[in-house]
Amino acid sequence: MTTNNMSPIVSRRFSSSSVVRSRGIYPAALHRKHNMKENYPARSYEIVAKRNDGSVFIGQDRAPAIPLFENAFSAFAQGCLVMTEKGEVAVEDLQPGERIVKADGTSAPLIWIGSSSFVLAGSGKRTPLVRVMEDSLGAGRPSSFITFGPTARVLHTPLHMRGDESNQEVFTLMRDLVDGVNIIEVTPPTPVRLYHLCLEQHSAIMVGGLHVETYHPGDNLMTEMPIRHRDQFLGMFPHIISEKDFGGLCYPRVPNKAQTLM
């Protein structure tokens, strides 16, 4: 990604010495000690984010390859077209500060972009991508085939809720909608780079004609995770001081068929 016409860039490899802990420091040696003790495989995560002072943060961290971290980096495959005020832009070409069009037609600035490389085949874990064919969820939904990562959620009214008084739309995991015909699983044999996005608040954004969820850890996840993981995780979001800054969910989520990515 380029940062032309952006505010001054602050670049820091925060895995080399420390990670941000809600304005504190979480020693890397202690972080490595915990990872070795728990014997977690590790993964490199890349972050590009707009700080509150307007500068752009570029960072990379090596953290456990567990759902807590991976879910924040694996919603969109390269080529996903995200609607901005200036038109559709491939997710890999987005920059912090661009105004993203939301499901209600308004727009908000892009604050955070997370990405990581995933090997979906031969890793001992079943983590396929989800390919959605044109018009699978209605006319123009999507406008052409589009490929999502395993944690993408789409705003959708489940069949059992259609026709009732609420007719409520909820965020549904795209992989829970796989039917083998119009929505299929795809497992590339080579590594793929996946992405996730954050706006100022949890939102549904326009992606290829679908209303797709931006990243949010969930209402209870932060309170349930070990402190050592929470500290490192929050350090990956330079615009976040505490978990409360994620705010609430803009729409409810359908309970996952599987509660984790893997």
DSSP track, 169-237: -EEEEGGGG--SSSEEEE--SS-EEEEEEEESS--EEEETTEEEEPP---SSHHHHS-HHHHHHHHTT-
Helix (H) or strand (E) holding 70: helix 67-70
Give the start-end residues of each E strand in 51-106: 56-64, 76-77, 81-84, 87-90, 99-101
54-86 tens-digit pLDDT: 899 999 999 999 888 999 999 999 999 999 999
Q: Which of 44-58, 97-111, 163-177, 203-217 has the lowest mean pLDDT?
A: 163-177
pLDDT higher at 155 or 14: 155
What tokens does 179 get?
């039917």
Give me the count of residues in the chain.
262
Amino acid 8: pLDDT: 37
Higher per-residue confidence, 40 vs 55: 55
Of 25 and 186, the structure prediction assigns the larger pLDDT to: 186
Mean pLDDT of all residues in 128-139 = 93
Amino acid identity, position 39: N
CA torsion 46→251→152→20, rounded to 10°?
20
Q: From the centroid of its chain, how far is CA 131?
A: 17
How is residue 254 annotated by DSSP?
A: P
